[in-house]
Amino acid sequence: MKPIVPKKNEPVRIGFYICHCGTNIASVVDVEAVAKYAATLPNVAVSRTYKYMCSDPGQELIQQDIQESRLNRIVVAACSPLLHEHTFRKATEAGGLNPFYFQMVNIREHDSWVHTDRTEATRKAMALARAAIQRVPHHKPLEVKKVGINPNVLIVGGGIGGIHAALTLANAGKMVYLVEKEATIGGHMAKFDKTFPTLDCAMCVLSPKMAAIGSHPNIHLWTYSEVAKVDGYVGNFKVTVRRKPRYILEDLCTGCQECVNACVYKDAKFADEFNLGLGKRKPIFLPFPQAIPPVTMIDPEVCLNFKRGKNPDGSHTVSDKCKKTCVEACGDRKAIDFKQTQEIKEITVGTIIVATGFQIFDARRIPYYGYGVYPNVYNALEVERLINASGPTEGEVILRNGQVPKKVAIVHCVGSRDENTNRWCSRVCCLYSLKLAHLIKEHTHAEVYNFYIDMRTPGKGMEEFYNRIAEEGMHLIRGRVADVYPDPNDGATGRLVVQAEDTLTNKILKIPVDMVVLATGLEPHPEAESLRRMFNLSCSSEGWFLERHPKLAPVNTFTDGIFLAGCCQGPKDIPDTVAQAGAAAAEAFALIDKGHVEQEPNTAYILDDCCGCKSCIPLCPYTAISFAEDTKKAIINETLCKGCGTCVASCPSGSIVQNLFEDVEIYSEIDGVLAEGLF
Amino acid sequence: MANATQSPLPNSTWKPRIVAFFCNWCTYTAADLAGVSRMKHFSNVRIIRLMCSGRVDPQFVLEALAKGADAVLIGGCHPNDCHYVEGNYKCLRRYQMLKRMIADMGIEPERLRLEWISAAEGEKLKRVVNEMVETITKLGPLGLPQKFEQWDREMEEFANHVAARDAAAGGGCAEHGTNTQPLETAHA
């Protein structure tokens, strides 16, 4: 198709299209009336309605009209421009016009979906259409800016989501920086015993992937590290990573753990984080046997060779009071370095995948369940560790007093579906509770009582799993647990009573049990807020990172080039996390493989009548504006300008113009929306 | 908001006209979210999308009021959340200045409102829009275009009056008498 080059002084001929969107728009807005109204406005040559403008025939309609009716401006009144502006720009371009001769009117999200009065909604649609029709004659042909993209990828978070995304990209030949806050990758999945619904061992499927990360030539694995700063934009992010000192030189340590054996502490006596404090470790330790990188670390808070307490800058001071048997054991490898300090790494990447995961709900926030008060109340993750063969009890489900529980209650929805704590369903608790019920029964032959509100088992194989577990002779009680208290008849043994109303039989139940397992829900990571600021993301009101579109852009964010994977976006199970991580990797790959990013040409430029007052220069956060000494005028560096328009609004002589948002365009919109008779 | 879209003043045809300038990244998206969540609210707000609240030229606000808006709503990102680092702070400064300016012009400061509404706060958008419509309904119309017309008429009458008086005085004051075209109108 021959591109239509606008001739000078050619009369503006606008094509106006209003979409029914099935009944989404047409049921509230009288689309025919809007089309008739638009036809009366100046410059409108064609005015039509169509059932689905975004469909192929809808777009072809535009292209056909451009050719047949010699249209040179297009206005489509439909959904939000954030959804379909791109679609219609493409259609405009396919018709032979510059894509920026297009303007979109949002009459679905901003009108038909939020108003019920047909007259008022129709008037609003007319006013908004009028604004666009008045605006579009001022549009100029613009060109999309193409900027090269750095092929490296940063992945933040080394749980199963980050691991999967990293391997996918690294296998495709891309250089990946995987940054993990903890000393090892693996995340929550590494702590699980079995996974539902297949009951396959979590570590058996995870550890090969972890090992692959550790040995992959395309992956820079930085554990015990945090992203400190992110600058730049899609294609060219400048990232600062802070690597915390683990006092072991990663390149030299072979993971033999002879240092651990040689430590002056003969017995492990410090709470082991990986086992949630149920087990013990030494001051020098490997987080868990399959840790990647297989490198030990030193906890300076308890190691005798360090002074207690941190310095104001967060570092620790070496006391040199220990015999340093660990150094002796390490011998010639010389992998232990008490003087190690934090290391700052600066990298440039083109895309970022955020996979920072979740935290489990702190059950102490619901005092009547007695977590943290009664020793026999556990959260589900602690029980995972008790069941796990490499856990603190080597797979024996025993209470803190060493006894095997004979009766176990599992309380669902702890910190989920609760007005007082978190309102959302954490999605995985019903299923992992069924899994734990099965595993506890398998390990202890105990009677297991599941107290649930609703049994939620969506997903492939999940309902079958529920039926299977139910048939194993579990007690499934529909009722929210109201109280957990020491058994008045048997208090000394730590036995507890779980009280709930069985809402199917309308009976109050008081069941004495030896162990209570709280199926704690999933919560946004405590650092989500600071991460959100750093990566310029949005959060839902609950604190989960917000995807660009819940259905059509589920891994994209509002910041181009930054993608989401896993539970940082919302609670999900392992298969969904992996699927999402794959999607995020594919999105990143699609950007990289294209080789360039297209940037909205909404940058600003300076007119000749700039008087050189320099008031715009300090306003630009990207230092895109400079002062040309020879001409005594300001100049804008187009590659640095991000198109916010702050300088435009401040120019006292009106000498700065923002493409796509020119003053004259905004003024014609203001005039358009205030049209008489449309309120 | 069961009666959200009913006319707030059933006996009057007047309804507040509110022009809104929303940042593309937060408040505009919040309005989309309100739509997706079907949060019904008053239909009196007409949204104009800008890339950043920092793009809101004070003249946009004055122009909207002069062209017949009863109020102007600006929506930007929460402090520290600006997509462009600090455009919202620039907007805040202009807003503070404008607030005083319109008060000096005899326009109630309530007619200009700046709100930080993040992309996730569809509920807040609905609340702010409804609150604003209620506030402006109570305040009544601003009606600057009508006032301009009235002032133009007054000026014209005054000019005519002066011309007639000069004519009656016998054309003695040439420097006044020849200057009979209407004085420059207030909003020109």
Is residue B38 domain-shared with residue B89, that is, in the same domain?
yes
pLDDT of A10 reads 83
Is residue B54 domain-shared with residue B76, that is, in the same domain?
yes
Q: What is the mean pLDDT of residues A287-297?
A: 94
pLDDT of A233 reads 86
Q: How much of chain A, in percent, has pLDDT values that exceed 90? A: 89
Cβ contacts of residue B18 below 8 Å, gap of 6+? Answer: B44, B45, B46, B69, B70, B71, B72, B73, B129, B132, B133, B136
Start-to-end C-alpha separation, chain B: 41
Cβ contacts of residue A97 below 8 Å, gap of 6+? Answer: A3, A4, A66, A71, A72, A73, A74
User: Given pLDDT bands bounded at 50, 70 and 90, which one contains residue B3?
Assistant: very low
In a domain, B92, yes or no: yes
Is residue B59 domain-shared with residue B130, that is, in the same domain?
yes
In a domain, B8, yes or no: no
Alpha-carbon distance values, A120 to A61, A117, A535, B33, B45 (Å): 29, 5, 40, 21, 11
Record the tokens describing residue A534, joined without a space: 């750093």
* Number of domains, chain B: 2
User: Given pLDDT bands bounded at 50, 70 and 90, which one contains residue A523?
Assistant: very high
Is residue B119 domain-shared with residue B32, that is, in the same domain?
yes
Which comes out higher in pLDDT, residue B80 or B74? B74
Average pLDDT, chain A: 94
Task: Tell whether B12 is within 8 A of chain A (Cβ).
Answer: no
Nearest to A670 among B63, B80, B81 (CB): B63
pLDDT of B25 reads 93
Residue B32 to residue A109, Cβ atoms within 8 A = yes
pLDDT of B35 reads 95
Contacts of B4 in chain A (CB under 8 A): 115-116
Q: Is the pLDDT of residue A464 over 80?
A: yes
In a domain, B68, yes or no: yes
Is residue B37 domain-shared with residue B79, that is, in the same domain?
yes
Q: Is the pLDDT of residue A399 over 70?
A: yes
What are the structural domains of chain A?
14-145 (3.40.50), 160-244+351-357+529-589 (3.50.50.60), 247-341 (no CATH), 358-523 (3.50.50.60), 604-658 (3.30.70.20)
Which of B46, B123, B125, B129 best tests the A interface by mutation, with the highest count of A CBs <10 A? B46
pLDDT of B170 reads 74
In a domain, B75, yes or no: yes
pLDDT of B171 reads 57
In a domain, B187, yes or no: no
Which comes out higher in pLDDT, residue A2 or A486? A486
Which of B3, B12, B14, B32 best tests the A interface by mutation, with the highest count of A CBs <10 A? B32
Run of H or E including A359: strand A358-360
pLDDT of B187 reads 52
Q: Is the pLDDT of residue B1 over 80?
A: no
pLDDT in tens, A247-262: 999 999 999 999 999 9
Is residue B24 domain-shared with residue B45, that is, in the same domain?
yes
Q: Is the pLDDT of residue B8 over 60?
A: no
Task: Tell whether A81 is within 8 A of chain B (Cβ).
Answer: yes
Query: Is A179:A166 a contact under the CB 8 Å cutoff?
Result: no
Q: Is the pLDDT of residue B186 over 60?
A: no
pLDDT of B172 reads 52
pLDDT in tens, A298-307: 999 999 999 9
Is residue B157 domain-shared with residue B76, that is, in the same domain?
no
Nearest to B84 among A113, A127, A621 (CB): A621
pLDDT in tens, A89-131: 999 999 999 999 999 999 999 999 999 999 999 999 999 999 9
pLDDT of A4 reads 57
Q: What is the mean pLDDT of residues B7-15?
A: 58
In a domain, B96, yes or no: yes
User: Given pLDDT bands bounded at 50, 70 and 90, which one contains residue A427?
Assistant: very high
Beta bridge partner(s), residue A18: A49, A77
Q: Is the pLDDT of residue B184 over 70?
A: no
Is residue B160 domain-shared with residue B90, that is, in the same domain?
no
Contacts of B28 in chain A (CB under 8 A): 82
Record the tokens describing residue A147, joined without a space: 């900027």
- Distance of residue B106 Cα from the nearest chain A Cα, in angstroms: 21
ipTM confidence score:
0.86
Cβ contacts of residue A601 below 8 Å, gap of 6+? Answer: A100, A142, A143, A144, A145, A659, A660
Pairing, β A656-658 against β A604-606? antiparallel
The closest of A601, A596, A602, A613 to A654, measured between CA atoms, is A613
Q: Find the domain containing B168 and state its range.
A: 145-177
Nearest to B119 among A110, A538, A622 (CB): A538
Alpha-carbon distance values, B159 to A468, B147, B155 (Å): 95, 18, 6
Q: What is the mean pLDDT of residues A552-562?
A: 91
Is residue B127 domain-shared with residue B152, that is, in the same domain?
no
In a domain, B182, yes or no: no
Q: What is the mean pLDDT of residues A580-596?
A: 96
pLDDT in tens, A208-224: 999 999 999 999 999 99
In a domain, B10, yes or no: no
Give the CATH number of the domain where residue B135 resides: 3.40.50.960
User: Cα–Cα distance between A128 and A626 in angstroms, integer?
Assistant: 37
The closest of B35, B81, B63, B34 to A559, measured between CA atoms, is B81
pLDDT in tens, B39-67: 999 999 999 999 999 999 999 999 999 99
Is residue B128 domain-shared with residue B44, that is, in the same domain?
yes
